[in-house]
Chains A and B, each alone.
Chain A
Amino acid sequence: MRNTKLFKALTSLKLTVTTLSLSMVVVFLGTMAQENMGLKMAVDRYFKSFFIDHIAIEAAWNKTTQLFGSQPDPLTPEELRNAKRWPVFPGGYLLGTVLLVNLLSAYYARFKWTWSKLGILATHVGIVMLLVGQLLTDLLSVESFLSLRVGDRKNYSESFDYTELAFVSSLNSKSNQVMSVPGWKLRQDKKIADPTLGNLELKVNQYWVNGVPQGPRSLADAFKMRQPSHHGEDSPAAMAVDEFKAFARDQDPPPRTVKDLKALIDDFGRVDRRLTAAEWLGIYQNQRGQGGDFVIRMITGQIAEFIATRGKEGPLTPREMANECRRFVEALKHRENPPDENVLRNLTSLINDVAAFCQQRDMTRFVRDFSAFVEDKKLQPSGADSGLIAKRYPWVEESPESLSMDSRNLPVTSVELVDNGKSLGTYLFSARMISQEIEIGGKDTKVSLRPKRHYHNLYMTLIKLQFEKYRGTDIPKNFESRTLVEPSNGGASRVVDIYMNHPLRYEGDTFYQYQMDSDQMRQASRSSAFQVVENPNWLTPYLGCLIVAFGLVYQFMAHLVGFVKKRKAA
């Protein structure tokens, strides 16, 4: 066997060099592809696969050419995921396997023990451990995410990538029964009937990988967020949003189609917005002076007095009210004893502000902008008719699938629930929303689409979160979470500080403090995030590295000593 051509090829150094060279190419391209594909997909398609497909290569090539001034369009998530793929280059697993076989067969064929070869031997043993260790880590480790607000107590972490449709019903006062359907199944199958679900059958109407349920009020809120605020005060458009929300709340039946919604917005624009002078000034006072500002009160009082003397208390249209204010300015200027120039200038500026404020309550612009905003959203009907979420959010705004590690996909799905052949209605579920209570099989069941949960043998409570920045900068100096760790089996609880580079290791799980940037901190508002890793194989790379390092040091020192001896001898 040792003399066969195949065996000789397997044991050859040429094969080693070729494999290493191909590994260089794979590592380089696998790095370049990360921007377009996202880290996870790039790792899966380059390093955790036997062959690399041509789409993955194209993603890397695009990035490479970008460095040299070209501006290729990045591949869409759809193209990356679903386009027909052809294997064109050896992947990480194949190269790792070949390297392993090459190394082991070379030792089998040629190995003869001498002390001088100890270094090389140890180096190769360590490399084998690293290769096998990485494979085991790929297969066995599970990463998840635990987010806690101060005072929260949890015994589970949540998956970054996977969701589940969970059905939680109460068994007794202490325990719940949980059934779940994985998100990928909802995405793939139209009909799901599983023994674990009992008599319940799911008919998946639609599944959006990343989406936001939308309704008239949530759209109005989204529109308001886009309006600029001036010195903390709402702009006129933003104020109109509040009025629109109140208007939309009273509509019965609520709009079910986008056409209905646009008609509702038009109706809102046509509402006769006539108010008395006192009402106009009251709104102004509340908006600008928050009710307490002395100068605002003084000015509004004077305007009211002026309008009263003219007998024009109202009701007035926005334009009429603005005109009344302007008349007051003119009257001020032409008084017998006009105020001095500075006072007059200040008063004029304030009264003009009241006039502008009233005039901007004209809703024509709001109707135009808001309709265009809704049009841009390209809303899709949710297809759901039952439950609170479907009622409030008749549409789904589809967002592009995110491949980045920094953002998560939050799926939405509309599912018809059939219990014992009887339809319970079509419900809308979203990973952004809390659970809905539905009666299934005579039991009140909480149903929600949520990140897949990983349960741990502990309960963790966040006692205190410390986030320090360097003075005068946004550079994070320290993230530290003081937690109470209580073993699930009732063992002694303890207080643990988890901070950067100091994780908590507990029964095979490791909890790492996650460093957030300032934006994330603001959004998370006093909540701490931990990355949770379950990796039974975590010690292997440490051992592998130690052995390789020993081997290299041994070999290097042996060469060095030999070299020095030779020089001395010369």
Chain B
Amino acid sequence: MSQKKKKQSRKPAKPDNSPAEKRENPEDSPQHNVLRHWPWAFFALALLYVIGGLMPPKSRVELDHVEWGKFPVLKGGRTKPVDSLARNTLRKISHREVVPLEGNAPNGEWGNLIELKEKHPEGMYYRRWYQFGKRPKKLQATQWLLELFYQPEIADQRFIFRVDHPDLAGELNLNRKGIDLSGIQFFSFRQLQPSLGLLSEKSGKISQKNPMQRDPHENATYKLAEALHTYMKMRVSLQANFPNIEGGLKDHLDALKEVVPNAAEESRKASAGEEHNQDQLKRIESIMRPYAAMADDSSPREKSDKIMIVPPMEANKNPDDWHKVGESVLNSVRSNMQAEAEDNSTRALTFHPALEFYGRMGAAFTSNNPKSFNAAVVDYKEWLHKNHLGPELAKVDKEHYFNHFGPFGKSKRLYVIALVLACLSWLSIKKGNGAGSAAFYLVGLAFVIHTTGIMFRMWLEGRPPVTNLYSSAIFVGWGAVILGWLLERMYRNGIGSFVASIIGFCTLLIADKLAMEKDTMEMMRAVLDTNFWLATHVVIISLGYAATFLAGFLAIVYILRGTLTKSMSQEIGQSLCKLIYGTVCFATLFSFVGTVLGGIWADQSWGRFWGWDAKENGALLIVIWNAIILHCRWGGFVKDRGLAALAIVGNIVTAWSWFGVNMLGIGLHSYGFMGAAFNALKWFAISQLVIVAAGCLPLQYWASGKQLTGKTDSAA
């Protein structure tokens, strides 16, 4: 059949023009003509949603926290916008990127949470899913960080600390005293403050324990203690927000400017036993002590994770000369006193301009003066440009825009809608129905955004798509979506869209969970720092994972649709099995080539092609499993049902190799045991085995058994 004819055959038959026919066939009514374009209308709506997200972000309040969020800071070895710092911190503490300000009192009263809390010590809860009319005010991550930096006494009252385990809240005497969200309680720093000592002691003991042997209560305690540590560290990273220290950054800088000049002479007199101005030295000491604490990095933990807010003075000459605020203040005071001591003079104390600008912003923020705040933001930005930090600014600007656009979140939502539409398409008897088309278009759109997100990340990092576990989740999803979408393009039966959207959604959900732990654009260790192998081995093995999952999910469709619905005809069953077989071939090719490239990389790095490392063994398991499926098929040991069952077991093997082996604490790819992740993995494996067991039921018990019996499958 020619291409032209084929195109024509897909279109619905041209309606007859006779008025009688028009009356009899409701599909030919003008109303129907409009309705049959609804998939495109749906697509247009989704497109509008995406385009809406492309608009550059703007602050909705007068105080320009958006521009403030674009300032560069150095953390984790890379410069990033304050916005990323704020989001990552809030995600780690709260598992969210916003802080809801409003919720419900136990009597259903709606209002500001802090105010309601004063009246109702217990039983408060966040917006319930059915409260469609309520849209709580929220603090964006940057607004929250601004508050934490400059008005910590208010930030301390925000309910951001997530406590997963109900017993933990009881142990801290906080039962029902948090804000409830579907059984999870959120507490404020102020509520948890009395328990800091207890939590620190407990987490110290828990950290000595093998992560595999921690129970859920210990995990929750450890996580909460870590969240509190992160919060307290962030609280004092710009301003000396210690207890009993009054004033903000600007006040402290001004005070030091007043007392430090001539201090060298007084200090000399003190050490010579001469009469001196003791008050002056004491005042310097009292202001400097908290900044010295902020500068202190004697603990290995602090040393390995500094938050450096003060940029280099001459960025073109010393691009790496970033400092912590405490360090910068100490350096300025010390060098001033040293210079005074050297030439026996009195000098005016000057600080790094960034400190002055941040001080101004802080003063404006606390005095609720948005104009002055915005002016300080503009001035600092100008100074950064003058100080040759233009390229850094451009880089963090891009990341800020990427954060705002949130391509993976958008794709995830579109995949869910596509998934629902794909399922709906199977309910319709008619082939080529609207829901199927809408699902197909939406998967395509979500895929384009997914791809854009990956490319944007590659551009930002200057790296191939997969650099860590987070990006591997995104990329594996991407690979499965494109393969699924191509299958849908060929067969147009809803299966490709279904499988693509479910894998796309699940992998992005996994990526979301992984993003809760740490920065998703972390720096590469020396041994991994090679774009060539990242671009070849890692990409290809990820495609191997994607294809194995795709085959597994197609097999799930085969078994669930066959056992639970009557919609599985012999024709559909056969074509599905062909798809599974083809995908397994593709998976074998990619997983083998990827594994081999990994071996060559290992040979280049460690001097051996194959070392039986846990991750290498994981990859080998996938290759062997795919080989087993193919040989079983070639030998006729399995037919359609057996092939599907084996492909589903492939899901378990791949999930184990992808995540499981990393959690064993063995070998070169060990990322540490993640209790929650391992539980998820366990349940995933169990679910797959249940489906395999369902697939092993004799065909007479399948809902579509009658259609499938006969030629299709007599021996699995």
CA distance A535 to B610 in the complex (A): 12
B596 adjacent to chain A (CB < 8 Å): yes
Contact with B along A283-311 (1 / 0, CB 8 A): 00000000000110010000000000000
Interface pair A512/B605, CB less than 8 Å apart: yes
Q: Which of A466-501 contact B (CB under 8 A)?
A: 469-479, 499-501
Interface pair B588/A476, CB less than 8 Å apart: no
Q: Which of B308, B523, B607 contacts A531 (CB 8 A)?
A: B607
B352 CB to closest chain A CB (Å) equals 17
Interface pair A473/B596, CB less than 8 Å apart: no
Which A-chain residue is minimally distant from B305 (CB atoms)?
A473
A14 adjacent to chain B (CB < 8 Å): yes
Using a Cβ–Cβ cut-off of 8 Å, how many residues does chain B contribute to the interface with A? 74
List, in ascending order, chain B residues with CB within 8 A of A477's CB.
Answer: 77, 523, 526, 529
Interface pair B666/A35, CB less than 8 Å apart: yes
Using a Cβ–Cβ cut-off of 8 Å, how many residues does chain A contribute to the interface with B? 70
Q: Which of A24, A298, A479, A518 contacts B526 (CB 8 A)?
A: A479
B41 CB to closest chain A CB (Å) equals 31
Q: Which of B620-672 contact A (CB under 8 A)?
A: 620-621, 624-625, 627-628, 631-632, 634-635, 637, 661, 664-667
Q: Which of B525, B607, B618, B627 contacts A20 (CB 8 A)?
A: B627
Q: Which of B212, B278, B533 contacts A67 (CB 8 A)?
A: B212
A44 CB to closest chain B CB (Å) equals 10
Interface pair B600/A545, CB less than 8 Å apart: yes
Interface pair A538/B667, CB less than 8 Å apart: no
Interface pair B599/A541, CB less than 8 Å apart: yes
Contact with B along A541-570 (1 / 0, CB 8 A): 110010011001101100100010001001
A242 CB to closest chain B CB (Å) equals 25
Interface pair B303/A39, CB less than 8 Å apart: no
List, in ascending order, chain A residues with CB within 8 A of B613's CB.
Answer: 39
A224 adjacent to chain B (CB < 8 Å): no
Q: Which of B77, B530, B596, B635 contacts A472 (CB 8 A)?
A: B77
Interface pair A143/B582, CB less than 8 Å apart: no
Q: Which of A43, A141, A471 contacts B308 (CB 8 A)?
A: A471
List, in ascending order, chain B residues with CB within 8 A of A47's CB.
Answer: 612
Interface pair B609/A538, CB less than 8 Å apart: yes
A342 adjacent to chain B (CB < 8 Å): yes
A30-B612, A66-B212 known; A512+B607 contact, CB < 8 A: yes
B437 CB to closest chain A CB (Å) equals 20
List, in ascending order, chain A residues with CB within 8 A of B526's CB.
Answer: 476-479, 499-500, 515
Interface pair B628/A14, CB less than 8 Å apart: no
Interface pair A501/B530, CB less than 8 Å apart: yes
Interface pair B625/A24, CB less than 8 Å apart: yes
Q: Which of A67, A294, A541 contacts B271 (CB 8 A)?
A: A294
Interface pair A470/B78, CB less than 8 Å apart: yes
Q: Which of A20, A24, A134, A556 contacts B589 (CB 8 A)?
A: A556
Residue among B273, B308, B526, B605 facing the most chain A CB atoms (10 A cut-off): B526
Which B-chain residue is minimally distant from A120 (CB atoms)?
B634
Q: Is the interface of A mostly helix, strand, loop or mixed?
A: helix
Interface pair A471/B631, CB less than 8 Å apart: no
B709 CB to closest chain A CB (Å) equals 26
A145 CB to closest chain B CB (Å) equals 11
List, in ascending order, chain A residues with CB within 8 A of B525's CB.
Answer: 475-476, 515
CA distance A500 to B526 in the complex (A): 7
B535 CB to closest chain A CB (Å) equals 13
Contact with B along A50-77 (1 / 0, CB 8 A): 0000000000000100111001000000
List, in ascending order, chain B residues with CB within 8 A of A27's CB.
Answer: 617, 620-621, 624
A469 CB to closest chain B CB (Å) equals 8
Q: Which of A528-543 contact B (CB under 8 A)?
A: 531-533, 535, 538, 541-542
Interface pair B628/A501, CB less than 8 Å apart: no
List, in ascending order, chain A residues with CB within 8 A of B523's CB.
Answer: 470, 473, 475, 477
Interface pair A471/B635, CB less than 8 Å apart: no
Interface pair A34/B624, CB less than 8 Å apart: no
Which A-chain residue is minimally distant from B533 (CB atoms)?
A501
B163 CB to closest chain A CB (Å) equals 23
Contact with A along B481-517 (1 / 0, CB 8 A): 0000000001000000000000000000000000000
A379 adjacent to chain B (CB < 8 Å): no
Q: Is the interface of B mostly helix, strand, loop or mixed?
A: helix
Q: Which of A20, A141, A556 contacts B624 (CB 8 A)?
A: A20
Interface pair A14/B593, CB less than 8 Å apart: no
A430 adjacent to chain B (CB < 8 Å): no
A531-B607, A559-B585 known; A473+B592 contact, CB < 8 A: no
A562 CB to closest chain B CB (Å) equals 11
A20-B628, A501-B527, A552-B593 known; A472+B305 contact, CB < 8 A: yes
Interface pair A471/B320, CB less than 8 Å apart: yes
Interface pair B607/A548, CB less than 8 Å apart: no
B87 adjacent to chain A (CB < 8 Å): no
A27-B621, A66-B212, A553-B589 known; A545+B304 contact, CB < 8 A: no
Which B-chain residue is minimally distant from A123 (CB atoms)?
B592
Q: Which of B78, B213, B609 contacts A71 (CB 8 A)?
A: B213
CA distance A42 to B664 in the complex (A): 15
B603 adjacent to chain A (CB < 8 Å): yes
Which B-chain residue is minimally distant from A471 (CB atoms)?
B320
B702 adjacent to chain A (CB < 8 Å): no
A21 adjacent to chain B (CB < 8 Å): yes
CA distance A500 to B599 in the complex (A): 16
A503 adjacent to chain B (CB < 8 Å): yes
Q: Which of B325-344 contact A (CB under 8 A)?
A: none
Which B-chain residue is minimally distant from A17 (CB atoms)?
B631
List, in ascending order, chain A residues with CB within 8 A of B627's CB.
Answer: 20
List, in ascending order, chain A residues with CB within 8 A of B585's CB.
Answer: 555-556, 559
List, in ascending order, chain B residues with CB within 8 A of A63's CB.
Answer: 664
List, in ascending order, chain B residues with CB within 8 A of A28's CB.
Answer: 617, 621
B306 adjacent to chain A (CB < 8 Å): yes
Which B-chain residue is minimally distant from A532 (CB atoms)?
B607
CA distance A299 to B634 in the complex (A): 93
B586 adjacent to chain A (CB < 8 Å): yes
CA distance A501 to B534 in the complex (A): 12
CA distance A563 to B305 in the complex (A): 54
B148 adjacent to chain A (CB < 8 Å): no
Interface pair B77/A473, CB less than 8 Å apart: yes
A147 adjacent to chain B (CB < 8 Å): no
B536 CB to closest chain A CB (Å) equals 12
A16 adjacent to chain B (CB < 8 Å): yes
List, in ascending order, chain A residues with CB within 8 A of B212's CB.
Answer: 66-67
List, in ascending order, chain B residues with CB within 8 A of A559's CB.
Answer: 582, 585
Q: Which of B74, B533, B625 contacts A471 (CB 8 A)?
A: B74
A101 CB to closest chain B CB (Å) equals 16
Which A-chain residue is minimally distant from B588 (CB atoms)?
A552
Residue among A21, A469, A471, A538 facing the most chain B CB atoms (10 A cut-off): A471
List, in ascending order, chain A residues with CB within 8 A of B533's CB.
Answer: 501
A32 adjacent to chain B (CB < 8 Å): yes
List, in ascending order, chain B residues with CB within 8 A of A34's CB.
Answer: 612, 614, 666-667
CA distance A515 to B530 in the complex (A): 14
CA distance A66 to B634 in the complex (A): 38
B76 adjacent to chain A (CB < 8 Å): yes
B606 adjacent to chain A (CB < 8 Å): yes
CA distance A476 to B586 in the complex (A): 37
8 A-B pairs within 8 Å (CB atoms) are namely: A16-B635, A31-B612, A67-B212, A474-B300, A475-B522, A512-B606, A541-B610, A549-B596
Please give 5 more A-B residue pairs, beta carbons under 8 A apart, in addition to A31-B664, A35-B665, A472-B305. A20-B631, A31-B618, A34-B666, A549-B596, A556-B585
Which 9 pairs across A and B sit closest by C-beta, in order of nearness? A470-B77, A13-B635, A474-B304, A533-B607, A472-B306, A545-B596, A541-B609, A473-B77, A31-B617
